[in-house]
Amino acid sequence: MSKNSILTAAALSIPITLMAHSQCFAASHPFEFHTDGVMMHERYGPVEDAYGYMNVITDGKGKGTINVMFSNGSDLEHAQFNARVKFLNAKGKVVQEENFDCWIDSEGLREAGECKVSRPLTVRGFDSVKVDFYLSDVSELSAALTVY
């Protein structure tokens, strides 16, 4: 092999190696991620007996679903429960963000109010998932009475 052929082969192998290397950081499929958390109010902090749960599940081809569930066992009257789901690449940059919300009334006399929101997964090439659970559009007095 001539010297130019060796240099050309080496020059072409570097980008191919880098492309293959960056692919190994993407989430492999099937992929499964679960997280939960106490609902947070911007002004009052964590709210007792108000929770969020989220999972992302994919099949071997990368097709999947994002499921977000909320539970209101607190005394909050008619609150908007929210989840901000961020899909991050290997460097921690947001590839895509999905927002979920659901209105849930207070527990009443018997059990916690619950809500589930599902969407198909449309993002590709993510490495990790980060979720923020928070409350909005809550009466200030109701929130002040239910914080930890």
Calculate mean pLDDT across residues 137-148: 55
pLDDT tens per residue across span 78-105: 789 999 999 999 999 999 999 999 998 7
The tally of CA atoms less than 13 A away on the side-chain side of residue 113 is: 17
pLDDT at 53 over 50: yes
Domain boundaries defined on the chain: 27-146
Domain 27-146 sits in CATH at 2.60.40
- Residue written as token pair 């539970």: 71
pTM beyond 0.85: the answer is no
Q: How far apart are CA 67 and CA 131, in angstroms?
A: 12
